[in-house]
Amino acid sequence: MELWFTEAHPASHRGLTFRVRRVLESKKSRYQQIDILETEDGERLFVLDGMVMLTTRDEFVYHEMLAHVALMAHPAPRRVLIVGGGDGGTAREVVKHPTVEHVDLVDIDEDVFELSRRHLPETAVAFGDPRVHLRAEDGAAFVKNAREPYDVVLVDSTEPIGPGAVLFGAQFHGDIHRALGPQGLMVCQSDTPFFDGDTIRELHRTIRPIYASVDLYLASVPVYPSGLWSFTLGTKAKQGARPAEPLRTPPAEWGLKYYSPEVHRACFALPPFVAELVR
C-alpha cells in the first residue's frame, strides 16, 4: 500500500504531494491538528491543519531569511520576540547572534513545542539555550502586555485565516510598534505574491500608517505554494535605518545555507509584478 499526503492550495487550484513512508505522530491539540510525517526519501514534514509548515529539506531558507535580515540590519539586537514559530527554527537562527541576550518564543500551542522536541531536533535545538524562554501563550495578548522593549520582533505565523488572522491586523501591529525599542525592526511572513497578492496588498495598506517605513523582500522556499515567498519588514526609526543594508557579515561557523550579505541586499529587489502589489 502507498500512502500519499497532499496539501491543496484552494486559491491557486494546485497542490503539493509527498509519498509518505510513515506517520511519526498525529495529534489533535486544543488548537489544531498536528501531524509529523516522514517521506520516502527521509525528510520530515511538520503539518498543521493540513498545511505544511516546514520540511527538514528546505526549512533553513525560511528560518534564515525571517531571522537574519532584521537582526543583521539592527545595530545591536539584544532582546528578541518571536511570535509563533513553536518548531524552534527561527529561535535557532536568532541565538547565533552573540549580541542577543534574551529571546521570548511565544506560541499558543504547547503541543507544538513538545512534538518539535521529539521529532524535529534540528529546529528545536535552541530550546535548551538559557537565553530562550518558551511561553505557551496567545501571541497577540503577550505583545499587548509587553513591558520591556524589544529590538526585533519576528512574526512566524500561520496563514491569515482562523486564529492567525489577528496577526495581520492593525491592532496587533500597533502593539508591536509600542513594544519595539527606538531602533526596533519587525518582520512577518506575508505569503506568496503569485497567489496571495491581496493578502500582501492589504497587509501593507494596514501597517504603513504604523511604521516609519515598510519594505517587502523575497526568498525561494520550495515547499510553500508557488515556491516564491514574501516577508514584510517594518521599521520604527524615522531616520537612519537602512534595512536593505546588512551591518555585519555572518561568520562561516554559523553554517548558513541561504542567507548572505549579498542575498540580503538582493532580496529587496522586487520583480515589477511584486512591486506593483505594494506600490
List Cα–Cα distances, 87 to 78, 106, 176, 182, in angstroms.
22, 11, 22, 29
Percent helix, strand and coil across the chain, each to the nearest 5: 30, 30, 40
Please tell me the least confidently modeled range out of 147-151, 177-181, 239-243.
239-243
In tens, the pLDDT along 72-82 reads: 999 999 999 99
- pLDDT number for residue 110: 97
pLDDT band for position 247 (cuts 50, 70, 90) = very high
Helix axes 197-207, 170-179, angle to 10 degrees: 50
Distance CA 82, CA 43 (A): 25
pLDDT in the model for residue 161: 64
Over residues 99-122, mean pLDDT: 98
Q: With bands split at pLDDT 50, 70 and 90, how would you rate the model's confidence at 6?
A: very high
Percentage of residues in the chain with pLDDT exceeding 90? Answer: 90
Q: What per-residue confidence (pLDDT) applies to 219?
A: 98
Question: Which domains are seen in the chain, by residue range?
Answer: 3-54 (2.30.140.10), 59-278 (3.40.50.150)
Question: In the structure, what pLDDT confidence band is assigned to residue 162 with cuts at 50, 70 and 90?
Answer: low
pLDDT at position 167 over 90: no
Distances (CA, A) of 6 to 47, 117, 129: 11, 25, 35
Instruction: Answer yes or no: 151 catalytic.
Output: no
pLDDT digits (tens, 9 = 90+) for 42-71: 999 999 999 999 999 999 999 999 999 999
Q: Which residue has the cell 527561527?
A: 90
Q: Is 126 helix (H, G, I), strand (E, B) or coil?
A: helix
Q: What's the mean pLDDT in 26-46? A: 97
Residue 81 near residue 151 (C-beta atoms within 8 A)? no
Q: Residue 1 pLDDT more than 80?
A: no
Candidates 87, 107, 156, 175; catalytic one: 156
Distance CA 97, CA 99 (A): 6
In 129-252, which ranges are continuous DSSP H helix?
Answer: 139-144, 170-179, 197-207
- Cβ neighbours of 127 (radius 10 Å): 17
Q: What is the pLDDT of residue 163?
A: 62
